[in-house]
Amino acid sequence: MNQTPTASELRNSLVDDVIMNVSLTRDVERALRTVSRETFLPGVDLKDTYADQAVIIKDNPGGPLALSCASVPSVVAMMLVQLDVQPGDDILEIGAGTGYNAALLAELTRTHGSVTTIDIDPDVALHARTMLNRAGYERVHVRERDGLVGAPENAPYDRILAAVGLWDVPAAWWDQLREGGRLVLPLRWRGQTQSVALTRRGDTLVSDDMALCGFVPIIGQDGERTAALNTDDTIRVHHDEDQAVDADALGASLRGAPVEVLSGQRIGGEESFDGVWLRATAGGDRVCRLEVTPDALAQERILRPAVPGRSPLLVDGDSFAYLIVRRECADPQRPFRLGAAAYGPRAQSLAQDLIAHIEAWGSARTSVARLTITPAKTDAAAGPGFVISKRESRLTLTY
């Protein structure tokens, strides 16, 4: 007779699965096997608690994204590895969520360090405080606070971890991170979000790792815009505030015939090609995100993008090109071929520009961009690389 697995068995099974995709340190693995996630998700079925998926803890009636959730465990683990917590570290977490992540951080910093977690939502902060107390982590400091302000009363910190999506690096955080300290945050630029691990060196943050991810955005940053290309709002372009997008002109071009160009790069069924997007953002200001809904695909309003909900897009005036994937039988190990679909008067040239990004990625598929960030208010000259200016910081990308 089959017995229902215990919480401990499910927890260890989940960590075993995470190890298959994330290279865990011994300390992070120990923390994941120690902290009872079910304590922080009361009322949630144990199988859902220990599935590698996000769990919403507070809905957002006014928008499509939740106000707060428990993040995907494998992403939590990956970011903890990036953070590289040492025993005795003082840590600030932005976005308290369920309190589970703060408990993991408390395990990592052990008894000689400190953990401060903050959340702008009073219900979420209260939930985190209650659950942390219930789990025996009373020493974690929980504050109801705007994450963009941080928690200067316990600063400076050796580590800052953001568990919410950021469009910019808040100026207030610089004074709260020690020299040599690490900042890990889901940072959004040109329509994609990367979990970036950075070390502070004076007035510069320098990355040594990044990985594609997705997070609930922080409240108070609004640097991204959305433009509908058709009247029923089923085809959209998401772009940053410094990018000019003429939705009417692009929508008019969409009614014309598309151009389709294939690259020489092929991929397997489980092989990621997200590096194409990252590569393109280091090469110009024209990169945005294309979103195509199932209704638009069903009505054949547009050639199918590589990932309908989020595909890299190049925009130039009244023309645009985006990533596509086509199945071929030439190579059974890599049966899918990457390419570009484009619309508008400059469709052919834009498609070729996107193909160039695909080929550059294909020549060094595991290469990751180096990101340096400086405060926008500094006079420091940008180093070599492509610069993206935001309200409070400057991003420089190099390969």
The candidate with the shortest Cα–Cα distance to 120, out of 223, 213, 221, is: 221
Q: Do 277 and 193 form a contact (C-beta atoms < 8 A)? A: no
Query: Stretch 11-23: mean pLDDT, rounded?
Result: 96
Query: Stretch 263-283: mean pLDDT, rounded?
Result: 94
pLDDT band for 57, please (50, 70, 90 cuts): confident
Structure token pair of residue 39: 């304590």
Q: In what order do the strands lie in the sheet with 259-267?
A: 224-228, 235-240, 287-292, 311-316, 319-327, 336-343, 259-267
Residue matched to tokens 């000019």: 244
pLDDT band for 64, please (50, 70, 90 cuts): low
Q: Do 262 and 306 form a contact (C-beta atoms < 8 A)? A: no
Residue matched to tokens 């939740």: 66
> ∠ CA 224-228-230 to the nearest 5 degrees?
170
Per-residue pLDDT of 127-168, as tens digits, reads: 999 999 999 999 999 999 999 999 999 999 999 999 999 999
| Statement: residue 63 has pLDDT above 80 | no
Q: Do 187 and 166 form a contact (C-beta atoms < 8 A)? A: yes
pLDDT band for 356, please (50, 70, 90 cuts): very high
Helix (H) or strand (E) holding 356: helix 347-362
Cα distances from 396 to residues 238, 301, 326, 370, in angstroms, run 21, 37, 33, 8
**What is the spatial distance between Cα 268 and Cα 37, in angstroms, rounded to a whole number?**
35
**What is the spatial distance between Cα 205 and Cα 87, in angstroms, rounded to a whole number?**
23
Long-range contacts of 300-305 (CB under 8 A, 24+ apart): 301/230, 301/234, 301/235, 301/254, 302/235, 302/254, 302/258, 302/341, 303/258, 303/260, 303/341, 305/341
Q: Residue 226 CB: number of other CB atoms within 10 A?
A: 13
Per-residue pLDDT of 97-137, as tens digits, reads: 999 999 999 999 998 999 999 999 999 999 999 999 999 99
| Region label for 202, one of left (φ > 0), alpha (ψ between -120 and 50) or beta (otherwise) | left
Q: Which residues pair with 183 in a beta bridge?
A: 160, 198
* pLDDT score recorded for residue 381: 57
**What is the spatial distance between Cα 215 and Cα 186, in angstroms, rounded to a whole number?**
7
| Statement: residue 222 has pLDDT above 50 | yes
**What is the spatial distance between Cα 116 and Cα 35, in angstroms, rounded to a whole number?**
17
Cα distances from 329 to residues 174, 261, 336, in angstroms, run 52, 18, 8
Q: Mean pLDDT over all residues of the chain?
A: 94
Query: Stretch 29-48: mean pLDDT, rounded?
Result: 96
Structure token pair of residue 59: 């809905």
Which phi and psi angles does 91 have, rounded to 5°?
A: -125, 140
Max mean pLDDT among 55-69, 209-223, 379-393 falls in 209-223
Q: Please indicate whether residue 272 is annotated as part of the active site.
A: no
Query: Stretch 280-288: mean pLDDT, rounded?
Result: 95
**What is the spatial distance between Cα 266 and Cα 281, in angstroms, rounded to a whole number?**
21
pLDDT band for 65, please (50, 70, 90 cuts): very low
* pLDDT score recorded for residue 272: 92
**What is the spatial distance between Cα 48 and Cα 55, in angstroms, rounded to a whole number?**
8
Indicate the SS3 state at residue 83: helix
Among 8, 13, 71, 272, the one annotated catalytic: 71
Indicate the SS3 state at residue 108: helix
DSSP 152: G
Quote the percentage of the chain above a pLDDT of 90. 88
Pick from 12-26, 258-272, 281-295, 373-387: least confident: 373-387
The candidate with the shortest Cα–Cα distance to 354, out of 393, 317, 320, is: 320
Per-residue pLDDT of 181-218, as tens digits, reads: 999 999 999 999 999 999 999 999 999 999 999 898 99
Q: Which residues of 290-301 are buried (b: 16+ CB within 10 A; e: fewer)?
A: bbbbeebbeeeb
Whole-model pTM? 0.93
